[in-house]
Amino acid sequence: MESGKERSPWAWVPTLYFFQGVPYSIVMITSGLIYKTMGISIASFAFWTSLLYLPWTIKPLWSPYVDVVSTKRNWTVWTQLILGIAFIAAGIMMPLSFFYPITLALFALIAICSASHDIAADGFYMYALDEHKQAFFVGIRSTFYRFAMLTALGIIPVIAGLVQKNTGLDPVTFEASSVPANEYLPFDSSSVNIIRSDGEPKILLFPETLQVPLFDAEKSPADSAVVYIALSAPPGEGKTVIVNVTRNTGSKDIDISKSQTGRFEFTSLNWNKPVALSLKVNHNLTGSVSSGFLVTAGNVAFSWTVALAVIGGLLLLLALYNRIILPHPVEHEKKERPGWTVYKDVFVSFFTKPGVIPALIFFLIYRLGESQLVKVATPFLVDSRNSGGIGMTSAQYGIAYGTVGMLCLTLGGILGGIAASKYGLKKLIWIMALCINLPNAVYIYLSYVQPMPGDISIYLAIAIEQFGYGFGFVAYMLFMLYFVSESRYKTAEYAIGTSLMALGMMLPGMISGTVQEMLGYQHFFIYVLVCTIPGFLVIPFLKIDPAFGIKKK
């Protein structure tokens, strides 16, 4: 068997940081999708899932405990095993009537274990690799962390969606066609008559074929039509049927009104009370087009059981793999109890380092623009064109980010690590700062030009932005490693740095949606570019050893 010194980091760095990214992404982002589709109010789950961010922001409080009790390897392996089991348990709870408080408690456990895993894994990385290899692999680790995010935000919802599509009530379809305003005949909702049927409920539509008037300001202000949805029989007592309507074929110029989500809930109390879904036509449309819509009501709870069980099983396999593959570096294991003296030493050491003030500012604002862009870029790309978006389909978005974007992100991260190991952080930090910030300008271009979905300029813009992010993020991770590299408690101090990084993403991200609604897409992306300026202004004040990161001969 290879020793810790001989085992290649390529065997364990990718899996270690892929694992690190999955729990965070699911708890902080995918959980909102889960609870929304399960019928929980937005106000409720937004509050509680935001509170779940707490373990990552306060993890420095127990990082000294991780630093002085047992080894980073043991902490890493055991938290990985617990996380895999916890996700499977959360999936099992989804069909229960009291799933909400139970899964919240399990997600809280996952958040605490994941934050502890982050502390241990980052410390292990620093013990297992020398300075040069730390610099070389920093791009690799950030790339696989992003792979994990794509898994959590893309593959897991896709699995749930496939299960929903093939379970529950039979799906139905309907078509909407545009007609001149003077030929439009509104549907008379008073003609709807629902007679209860036996057996499982079915989805009912009134009318089954819909006409939508073309917008003509001179003749009529009408630009929308309504389709009514109900069930043929009540769901079981205490059960809720969640109906989702999506456009799946035809023209994007007829789509669900922006004021509606296309999601409706039916119970034994309202199953026979039709709900209205408004379809709106693009005001720039002048000819006849048609759009097809799919109405589904799958087994939502079971779909999340399957999806969470899949991710839990994957994490357990990765935990077993890492248990075998992770090297055994000398960690100077300490058996002391982490009393107040240890906590004081850690925080005093971190906050009294030379140049700590500009370092703190750097940790918080280096990604001030990116932290807001990442929240708005996706809705911009898939939003309707009459709302200022691009109007990409899910498949086009998946290709753009999942293939082109991911390849460029990976390439940027790898080249950033190689360049840093050759020239050092001090020489490259300005170039990397330019790379992570200036490519954000591609979204200004996209928002003003609005190229048609499928246009090569969209894929090129995403490729440039993702490559720049991958290359430029290396500087952020390297400076954090450098800042704690000479510390006795480097694991605990690195945790303080990552908590500041989390804070720097959380606070701007919280306001990004509100700012976008105030400014619109075009002005928002200009605002994002302006937000990159503070990150440049702090760089001259950073104290960096010119030799840090350069491969030693």
Q: In the 8-state DSSP scheme, what is residue 9?
A: G
Q: Who's near 445: CB < 8 A, 6+ residues apart?
A: 457, 461
- How far, in Å, CA of 60 to CA of 14, rounded? 24
| Residues forming beta bridges with residue 225, ordered by sequence position | 279
- How far, in Å, CA of 464 to CA of 471, rounded? 11
User: Which candidate, 409, 396, 78, places its Cα nearest to that of 252?
Assistant: 396
Are 450 and 385 in contact by the 8 Å Cβ rule? The answer is: yes
User: Residue 514: is its pLDDT beyond 60?
Assistant: yes
Quote the CATH superfamily of domain 1-168+301-328: MFS general substrate transporter like domains (1.20.1250.20)
How far, CA to CA in Å, does 414 sit from each of 429, 439, 443, 512, 546? 16, 18, 24, 30, 21
Better-predicted residue by pLDDT, 34 or 437: 437
What does the longest C-alpha to C-alpha distance in the chain come to?
A: 84
Query: Domain 339-553's class?
Result: mainly alpha
User: Residue 107: is its pLDDT beyond 80?
Assistant: yes
User: Residue 2: is its pLDDT beyond 50?
Assistant: no
Instruction: Output the pLDDT for position 442.
Output: 93
pLDDT in tens, 388-400: 878 665 446 656 7
User: Residue 318: is its pLDDT beyond 80?
Assistant: yes
User: Which candidate, 410, 414, 404, places its Cα nearest to that of 442?
Assistant: 404
How far, CA to CA in Å, does 240 sit from each of 99, 173, 299, 307? 14, 21, 10, 20
- Do domains 1-168+301-328 and 339-553 share one topology? The answer is yes
pLDDT in tens, 283-297: 888 888 999 998 888
DSSP H helical ranges for 438-489: 442-449, 456-484
Looking up tokens 């894994």 gives 121
pLDDT in tens, 108-139: 999 999 999 988 888 888 888 877 787 778 77
Dihedral (CA of 535, 538, 540, 541) sign: negative
Are 51 and 304 in contact by the 8 Å Cβ rule? The answer is: no
User: Residue 311: is its pLDDT beyond 90?
Assistant: yes
Q: In the 8-state DSSP scheme, what is residue 216?
A: B
pLDDT averaged over every residue in the chain: 83
- How far, in Å, CA of 127 to CA of 72, rounded? 9
Instruction: Output the pLDDT for position 3.
Output: 45
Binned at pLDDT 50, 70 and 90, residue 316 comes out as: very high
* Confidence (pTM): 0.61
Are 331 and 72 in contact by the 8 Å Cβ rule? The answer is: yes
- How far, in Å, CA of 509 to CA of 525, rounded? 14
Lowest model confidence (mean pLDDT) among 57-71, 447-461, 525-539: 57-71
User: Residue 463: is its pLDDT beyond 70?
Assistant: yes
* Cα angle for residues 523, 528, 529 (degrees, 5° grid): 100
Mean pLDDT of 400-429: 82
User: Which candidate, 295, 215, 289, places its Cα nearest to that of 254?
Assistant: 289
Better-predicted residue by pLDDT, 387 or 494: 494
pLDDT in tens, 166-224: 777 888 999 999 998 888 888 888 888 888 998 889 999 998 788 999 887 777 778 88
pLDDT in tens, 28-68: 777 776 776 676 764 566 567 767 777 877 777 776 777 67
**Alpha carbon 540 to chain centroid distance?**
32
- How far, in Å, CA of 66 to CA of 127, rounded? 14
* Domain chopping of the chain, boundaries: 1-168+301-328, 169-297, 339-553
User: Which candidate, 283, 287, 298, places its Cα nearest to that of 245?
Assistant: 298
